[in-house]
């Protein structure tokens, strides 16, 4: 199973002071040196953390896989076509949310998602869609032409102990359905050093996207150690 590290929070610290440091590009390179197989950033409409210059510079320096999360808008897909990341992950976006709230409803946004997927794939960019663990969303993702889905593990991560096993099972069943449909299966959101184990044991999941927990640990023990420790748990 591969690990892609989401470095948005490095940019969040920079923007807390509108300063030059810490530099997200440096963090991406350290994460790669520690063994991460991909770097993920979310280019939000309000540019509250990652900026256009960050994705442009990351494109030039990343040696592994650059994944940009974005809304399925013309503005965002236009940037992707210009910057050419290895992968775009389409996500829903609400202006005042603290972080992404749930998966993209592909059924309800079929026209916009279909147009975004076609535009990105025509430019040679792989497209993943961040969806809730719901088999109807898996089917719709395949129908709109996605290469991959990222299953939202937030429900599992936030579940009380009494319902955690059921939420994990939803993730497992969706991952199996996506794999059977020929989609590459990724997963992420809310994963930590303490809840990663059961998700890491789902063999149909090929890649995990993890941000907050790794950067939080990095602030105390250093980024290289934080990435290595997560990779050991993923196996
Ligand atoms: N996947 C998606 C689609 C996300 O939006 C995020 C948060 O930016 C993550 C994964 C990573 O979540 P976390 O920061 O909770 O690890």
- pLDDT tier at 213 (50, 70, 90 boundaries)? very high
Q: How many CB atoms are closer than 10 A to CB 84?
A: 14
Answer yes or no: is the C-beta of 6 below 6 A from any ligand 1 atom.
yes
CATH number corresponding to 2-234? 3.20.20.70
Closest ligand 1 atom, CA of 214? 16
Assess whether the C-beta atom of 44 lies below 6 angstroms from ligand 1. Answer: no
Number of helices followed by number of strands (H, E) in the chain:
11, 8
| Domain residue limits, the chain | 2-234
- Percentage of the chain lying above the pLDDT 90 cut: 96
Decide whether any atom of ligand 1 lies within 6 Å of the 190 Cβ. yes
Q: Is residue 89 pLDDT above 90, yes or no?
A: yes
Strand partners, 21: none
Q: Is the pLDDT of residue 207 over 90?
A: yes
Q: Name the residue of 104, 189, 194, 227 whose CB sits within 8 Å of the most ligand 1 atoms, as the mutation to test its pocket.
A: 189
* Cα 126 → chain centroid: 13
Closest C-alpha to ligand 1, atom 3: 130
pLDDT grade for 154, boundaries at 50, 70 and 90 = very high
Is the Cβ atom of 100 under 6 angstroms away from ligand 1? yes
pLDDT digits (tens, 9 = 90+) for 106-131: 999 999 999 999 999 999 999 999 99
The CA-based angle 42-233-225, given to 5 degrees, is: 70
Reported confidence tier of residue 28, pLDDT bands at 50, 70, 90: very high
- Give the model's pLDDT for residue 99: 77
Q: How far is the CA of 211 from the centre of ligand 1 (A)?
A: 6
Report whether 211 contacts 218 (CB < 8 A): no
CA end-to-end distance (rounded Å), the chain = 7
pLDDT band at 235 (very low <50, low <70, confident <90, very high): confident
Closest by CA to 176, choosing from 140, 151, 147, 208, is: 151
């Amino acid at each position: 199973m591969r690990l892609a590290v989401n470095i948005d929070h490095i940019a969040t610290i920079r923007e807390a002071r509108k300063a030059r440091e810490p530099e997200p590009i440096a963090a991406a390179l350290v994460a790669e040196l520690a063994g991460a197989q991909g770097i993920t950033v979310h280019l939000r409409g309000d540019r509250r953390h990652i900026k256009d210059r960050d994705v442009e510079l990351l494109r030039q320096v990343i040696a592994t896989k650059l994944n940009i999360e974005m809304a399925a808008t013309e503005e965002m897909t236009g940037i992707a076509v210009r910057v050419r990341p290895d992968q775009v992950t389409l996500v829903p976006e609400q202006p005042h949310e603290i972080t992404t709230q749930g998966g993209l409803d592909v059924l309800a946004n079929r026209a916009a998602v279909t147009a975004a997927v076609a535009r990105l794939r025509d430019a040679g960019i792989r497209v993943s869609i961040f969806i809730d663990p719901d088999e109807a969303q898996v089917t719709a993702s395949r129908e709109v032409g996605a290469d991959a889905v990222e299953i939202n593990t937030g429900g599992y991560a936030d579940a009380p102990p009494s319902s955690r096993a059921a939420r994990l099972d939803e993730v497992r069943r969706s991952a199996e359905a996506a794999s059977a449909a020929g989609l590459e299966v990724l997963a992420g959101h809310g994963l930590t050093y303490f809840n990663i184990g059961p998700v890491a044991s789902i063999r149909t999941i090929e890649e995990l996207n993890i941000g907050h927990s790794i950067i939080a640990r990095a602030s105390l023990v250093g980024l290289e150690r934080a990435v290595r420790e997560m990779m050991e748990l993923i196996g």
